[in-house]
Structure 1
């Protein structure tokens, strides 16, 4: 299977730069993500982590209000 991919790619001039670019993009992205995780404010992380619970509370409140109207 690899020979079907590797053969045509070897005939392209400068194709060896693409794996290097891919590795650099991968490394830069995960380095930036790692940096962001450790420098993010704890209050922001707490606020964002509570969003699903807040939405669930709002939905249950709306359902209860609709049932009370009926």
Structure 2
């Protein structure tokens, strides 16, 4: 089965670009994510991190 897949993949022209594109998308996503984390305002981070706690307090009151 593996031999069939390997032979079939080798017969497709231009297939070598897909792993490169996947790696670039993966790398770009995480670079943007790290950039956002390091440039995010601390007030926003604190506000968003307290959302689950605020919802629990409101649920117990209701």
TM-score exceeds 0.5: yes
Large movers: runs of 4+ above 3 Å: 1-5
Q: Take 2:4 and 2:40, find their aligned partners in 1: how far apart are those partners? A: 46
1:1-70 correspondence to structure 2 within 5 Å: 2-62=2-62
Structure 2 spans left out of the alignment, 5+ residues: none
Q: Which structure is richer in relative contact order (CA contacts within 8 A, separation 6 or more)?
A: 2
Structure 1 spans left out of the alignment, 5+ residues: 63-70
Instruction: Give the C-alpha shift of residue 2 in structure 1.
Output: 4.6
What is the aligned-residue RMSD (CA, Å)?
1.3
Q: Take 2:16 and 2:42, find their aligned partners in 1: how far apart are those partners? A: 43
What TM-score, normalized by structure 2, do the two folds share?
0.91
Q: How many residues align?
A: 62
Larger Rg: 1
